[in-house]
Structure 1
Amino acid sequence: MTAILRAAVLCVAEARPLVLGVSLLRFLTGVALALPVAAAAHPLVILRGAAAWVLSILAVYLFNGVTDVVEDRINGSRRPIARGDLDPAHAMAAAAVAAWLALLATVGLPGPMLWVVAANLVLGYLYSGPPLPLKGSAGGTMAVLCLSGMLAYLGGFVVATAGAHASVPPALMVFAAAAICWMVFVGVPAKDLSDIQGDAAAGRRTLGVRVGERRSRRVMVVAALVLLVVFALTVVLLRVPLVGVSLAMAVGAAAVTATGVGAPAPDAPVGRSTRRRSYGAFMGTQHLVHLTALVCHI
């Protein structure tokens, strides 16, 4: 039992608790912003939908960790598989179990939820699995992130509305669009910064590999500032109740800009953690804007 518990803890660590947390927040934000047209779903139904979604994310990230082990070790990653604490075969088995549990958890939920979870699992395989993993290119990575993000909010909407053919509230559409753009145009270059060496060794054509660290930082900073301006203007012009979220995004954009502008030179002898500061600012912003949306709409 102790060995199983330890393996479970390592699997969660491999899938990154912060990633699992923000995945949960995306789903719950989809629920909260659907409340104007919601069918008063039972809290246990919402929790089961959230569990199904997070389990699918757990399966996807475990599979990704198994397929990324070579480049992760080159990049100096300290996640369990890369450092040798979690056997890749055990992680793969856990990913399969998590995928089946995710599908099983949709039983009794609104019908479309099964397809939301199944589609996310398929995307996860296409991203990391053979024969042509989409993670090998910036375009493929962005496409998968965009679609997976849409599925998260759609899942929350489906559960909240009990699968009814309700109109999507403008606030949910605006928020989802902004959050997905943040994930794609800010998150992708931010994540690449600490992984350029390993990605290049693995033959990937990511943004960081193609244009280098300095230009990737510029793309990240410009994207954060442009997205903030567009989102704030959209909130004002459409009068959607997301003013608090726009203020939260402003804080995040400032943090991303600070880490991008004040970054070390590409050839500076600094550790992986230093090069991951921009990713930390990006990830912190994701949590902040989703928590703000939840607090303001529940």
Structure 2
Amino acid sequence: MSGIWTQVAPLPAGARVVALCLAESRPSVLAVSSLRYLTGVALALPITSIADPVMVFQGGVAWVASIFAIYLFNGVTDTVEDRINGSGRPIARGDLHPRTAAAVAAAAAALALLATLGLPLAMTWIIAVNLGLGYLYSGPPSPLKASPGGTVIVLMLSGLLSYLAGFTVATAGAGLVAPTELVVFTTAAICWMVLVGVPAKDLSDIPGDAAAGRRTLGVRIGESAARRVMMTAALGLLAAFCVAVAVLDARLVGVLVAMAAGAAAVVVAGTRPARQGQGRAGRRARRRSYEAFMATQQAVHITAVLSNI
């Protein structure tokens, strides 16, 4: 009897490690990454009848596994600044050992590449390049996350790859020309991620980023200026997206409405003064803008997917 319990006992511990790794990899980011991939699939449907549901699912597993590996590894390398910033993620609070997380991240990266077997060859390259970008962003000797320019480059390229992955799988790598809606949406979504998301994310992490030597936008220009950049970018991007939809006659009116609501939420959050203090309560207050940014990302992608399936 004791032998049976000895064999079963490790399972809960393993399940706990997986759960902690999922929490460390930021479930909201995994969800948005899934939506980006699905948007690439959905916006390809009007021009192709090739899409195979099994291949779409397999491609989604490969893409999400790569993002999981990247963000889990990022959590390992962000331990110092996360603890200074009062992050509640598992590594920062001491519930998940960095070495364990790094091993799981490496296994997930291998799984991501393995999952591309049977998919168009281009998908294997997309996953490999994405994993490479993830390492360059967080890993030694010179992580690109240390500078605003490096952060922007990685976010733009990885964002582009997410939509390209969905389009590639949906069209079975047939080399079709992307429809106008996909091009317009991808451009707007990447700009939203970079121009609004980067300053919004910086707001809650300025003390830790400064202590870790990272020259982020928030560290360089300060919290107040970063808020102004974020709000100006949100409104400017909304105006540009509106013009693009009208001029190019893109069928993205629903997405435009969702972005308008999101831009308003970002501006409202940005104008509300953050609670003073450096503890978790203060960090939560400074994350309101980032939460509005993330909610908008989810809304515009869900709208795009539902409008095209």
- Report the AA paired with residue 298 of structure 2: H
Q: Counterpart in 1 of 2:64?
A: 54
- Report the AA paired with residue 150 of structure 1: L
Q: Alpha carbon RMSD of aligned pairs, Å?
A: 1.2
Q: What pairs up with 1:1-298 in 2 under 5 angstroms?
A: 1-264=11-274, 271-298=282-309
Identity of aligned residues (%): 63
The answer as to whether partners of 2:85 and 2:204 remain within 8 angstroms in 1 is: yes
Shift of 1:296: 0.5
List per-residue Cα deviations over 1:227-266 (Å, max 9, x = no partner).
0000011101110100000000000000000000122377
Name structure 1 gaps, 5 residues minimum. Answer: none
- Report the AA paired with residue 12 of structure 1: L
The answer as to whether partners of 2:258 and 2:299 remain within 8 angstroms in 1 is: yes
TM-score (norm 2): 0.95
1:283 & 1:271 partners in 2: Cα distance? 19
2:307 & 2:16 partners in 1: Cα distance? 38
The answer as to whether partners of 2:66 and 2:130 remain within 8 angstroms in 1 is: yes
Shift of 1:282: 0.2
Provide the secondary structure at the position in 2 that maps to 1:297: coil
Aligned length: 298
Shift of 1:42: 1.5
1:264 & 1:162 partners in 2: Cα distance? 48
TM-score (norm 1): 0.98
Shift of 1:46: 0.2
2:129 & 2:86 partners in 1: Cα distance? 32
The answer as to whether partners of 1:214 and 1:266 remain within 8 angstroms in 2 is: no
1:177 & 1:4 partners in 2: Cα distance? 40
- Report the AA paired with residue 303 of structure 2: T
2:191 & 2:256 partners in 1: Cα distance? 14
Provide the secondary structure at the position in 2 that maps to 1:8: helix
1:15 & 1:94 partners in 2: Cα distance? 11
The answer as to whether partners of 1:39 and 1:162 remain within 8 angstroms in 2 is: no
Name structure 2 gaps, 5 residues minimum. Answer: 1-10
- Report the AA paired with residue 70 of structure 1: V
List per-residue Cα deviations over 1:141-172 (Å, max 9, x = no partner).
01100000000000000000000110110000
